[in-house]
């Protein structure tokens, strides 16, 4: 297994660690640690793709597992944010439904010997989703840390930024998620004719 694929597997391994920190009450600085784990896991997504391309180590395993690792990370974070009451459930459902639909498309394609790699729309979607989630996780930390709360609340510009920006990025993520899902199905509609 090459380095890029190891980073992909690391991202999958970090998902349950993120969930432990975000979900279990009583862990000191749990939400801060969850945010740091999520950021580290997200950075491995950018790093493994760069390493695979720069070293010419793009593999079938990587093409399949990299998007799956992204989906696990993002889905876990979205469900946690719904549980914390920070995002509406319908936003999470739209994003997760798209992920299931594209995963289904990839499975059908794989059964016919075709690998569907991440598209540019898919990559943009992932970046916007991650930015939205990181901003929302920071918002969680503001609510649980008296120091951060006073720091943000005493700065009107920062206060306004964290009041509005996470929500803007969340809905932008929803819109781009829908667009990227449609794009995958249009570009890979031949997959359905292959199964006949």
pLDDT along the chain (196 residues), means of 10: 86 95 87 94 84 79 80 93 94 93 84 77 89 92 79 82 92 95 87 65
Residues 6+ apart with CB under 8 A from 109: 115, 116, 188, 191, 194
| Cα(169)–Cα(175) distance, integer angstroms | 10
Give pairs for 97-105: CB < 8 Å, separation 24+: 98/177, 98/178, 98/180, 98/181, 99/71, 99/74, 99/75, 101/181, 101/185, 102/67, 102/181, 102/184, 103/67, 103/68, 103/71, 105/184, 105/185, 105/188, 105/191
Whole-number Å distance between alpha carbons of 128 and 146: 28
**What does the pLDDT read at residue 148?**
79
Quick one: pLDDT at residue 163?
86
Give this prediction's pTM.
0.86
Residue with tokens 């720091």: 151
Place of tokens 């998902």: 15
CATH number at residue 81: 1.20.120.1760
Where are the extended beta strands (E) located within 75-138? Answer: none
What domain range includes position 151?
3-194
Q: How many CA atoms lie within 13 A of 36 on its CB side?
A: 6
Q: What pLDDT is recorded for position 87?
A: 94
Find the farthest-apart pair of alpha carbons in the chain and give their distance in angstroms, rounded.
63
Q: How far apart are CA 123 and CA 129, in angstroms?
A: 10
Tell me how many domains the chain contains. Answer: 1
């Amino acid at each position: 297994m090459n380095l890029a694929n190891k980073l992909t597997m690391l991202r999958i391994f970090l998902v349950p660690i993120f969930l432990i920190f975000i979900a279990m009450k009583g862990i000191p600085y749990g939400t801060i640690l969850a945010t740091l784990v999520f950021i580290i896991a997200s950075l491995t997504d950018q790093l493994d793709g760069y390493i695979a391309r720069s070293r010419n180590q793009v593999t079938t395993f990587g093409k399949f597992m990299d998007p799956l690792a992204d989906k696990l990370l993002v889905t876990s974070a979205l469900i946690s944010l719904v549980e914390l009451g920070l995002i509406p459930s319908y936003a999470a459902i739209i994003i997760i439904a798209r992920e299931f639909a594209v995963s289904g498309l990839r499975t059908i394609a794989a059964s016919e010997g075709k690998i569907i790699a991440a598209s540019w729309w898919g990559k943009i979607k992932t970046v916007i989703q991650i930015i939205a989630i990181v901003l929302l996780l920071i918002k969680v930390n503001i609510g649980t840390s008296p120091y951060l709360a006073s720091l943000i609340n005493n700065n009107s510009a920062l206060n306004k930024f964290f009041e509005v920006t996470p929500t803007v990025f969340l809905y932008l993520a929803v819109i781009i998620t829908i667009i990227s899902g449609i794009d995958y199905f249009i570009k890979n509609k031949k997959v359905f004719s292959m199964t006949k």
